[in-house]
Amino acid sequence: MALRSSGDYRVRAFIDGDSTLCNTMILGLPVIAIEDAMPLINKYDVSQVLLAVPSAKRSRRKVILDELAKLPVEVLTVPDMTDIVSGKAKIDELKDVAIEDLLGRDPVAPQQVLLEANIKDKVVMVTGAGGSIGSELCRQIVEQSPKSIVLFELSEFGLYQIDRELNQLKLEKGLTCDIIPLLGSVQRQHRLETTMSSFKVQTVYHAAAYKHVPLVEFNVIEGVRNNIYGTYYTACAAIKAGVESFVLISTDKAVRPTNVMGTTKRMAELGLQALADQENAKSNGTRFCMVRFGNVLGSSGSVIPVFKKQIASGGPVTVTHPEITRFFMTIPEAAQLVIQAGAMGKGGDVFVLDMGESVKITDLACNLIQLSGLEVKSETNPHGDIEIQFSGLRPGEKLYEELLIGDNVKQTAHERIMTAHEVHLPLEEYELLLSELDFACHSMDHENIRTLLLNAPTGFNPTDGIGDLVWSHNQLELNLVDTELVVNE
């Protein structure tokens, strides 16, 4: 009742799913079932419903939110009572509904022995440490008592942010690990080798990559250089430095790829598989594995913050296609599962994370609009508040994502981690392909790059032609010159 006494809110009723409480009174206010809420909302012009079930499982919260989304009110959440008692939050510090609650995916408690296996008392390096996944990996890693953590990042600002955050976390929690912030590119093998050798790195999490599908489609050579060669250089440096374990952060877009980004990630996997065959023959070789998963909530380029901004500005909310679906996972869960999967790797393993049910993006947009207390504007509801507009699939974009190849998938000891059997390339063939691809990139021969990627055993089946912006511009210039020559003749 702290909200009631604050003066800023007028509490009218309690909504509860417990039928034994309905039609009773608490502090002079009625307890009602959710299906009986509309008359009261209309009578008192209620504008907000506060969700105060922080201990409920996400699956239960989703059921509640699905019902609340039908009401013409804004839905906000009350802070956790432990945060209120500890002084970390105030009762009236209301927040938007957490997007993970809309997914209804209950997290699985991590297996501590797997979290610690490649981290505790070890020197750990994270490439792409300033990115969405890389930074969360760093947060999780420092909690597992590493000897030190090497933050390897190309972006100066990204490195500054994660270094500052981890040092603050270290201070608050009394952690003792050394934090080593290093600027560097994964395309510079010598920098990678000296870093790993100097600090005697034992575990590498390779998160550095270009992951934005349309941008890689527009910048093909840079995508190839960073995702394929950057991974291979990092892996070779790890072998030379005697690294024990190497984990590649991969993607569902590497499965039957329809775009350059997905193909480069599958090519990166092929490189690690080839190197793993070599290392597995040694008594103390580097253990390579890769972990695939789908979209993470809150990552750079995620649709959620874009939708929220569009709703706040009055719309429209833009979705590429009415039927487009995606798999989603929270960043903390993804990072925990990556660490645990990496600990299970024996050499050349391709791990696939259980992403749960795919989510229809249009439904997600509708839920966000409705939970903001607004109505979706459509042909059937022309007087609604926010319209959803469909902009069309972007270059290289899939309508549906796939996580598995074939039926050769096996469950591991962890209920949300599986292994997939994949096609391999011998190391000699892979290095020959890299040599040919390097020459094509150096020559800016986009037609040959496309041919090499198509011929590689990645299953590349592009939905669009060559999308590189520099190549497209030059082609346009050539066509204009040819046209002028024809006209002049």
Q: Is the preceding omega at residue 395 within 30 degrees of 0, hence cis?
A: no
The SS3 assignment for 134 reads: helix
Q: Which pLDDT does position 66 carry in this prediction?
A: 87
The type of residue at 462 is P
pLDDT of residue 486: 44
- How much is the pLDDT for 371? 83
H/E element holding 38? helix 37-44
pLDDT given at position 70: 87
Q: Which of 221, 206, 290 is nearest to 254 (CA)?
A: 290
Strand runs (DSSP E) across 230-384, as ranges? 245-249, 287-292, 295-297, 317-319, 325-326, 328-330, 349-353, 359-360, 376-377
Longest alpha-carbon distance in the chain = 92
Give pLDDT, residue 17: 81
Q: What is the mean pLDDT of each run of 10 residues along the chain (489 residues)?
A: 64 86 86 89 90 82 86 83 58 70 78 96 98 96 98 98 97 95 98 99 98 95 99 99 98 92 98 96 95 78 82 92 87 93 94 86 90 88 93 85 63 89 93 98 97 97 93 86 47
| Catalytic positions, written as ranges | 253
Report residue 155 CA to chain centroid gap. Answer: 19
All structural domains of the chain = 2-103 (3.40.50.720), 112-420 (3.40.50.720)
What pLDDT shows up at residue 485? 43
**Predicted pLDDT of residue 28:** 85
Q: What is the pLDDT of residue 175?
A: 94
Q: For the chain, give me the number of helices (H) and strands (E)?
A: 19, 22
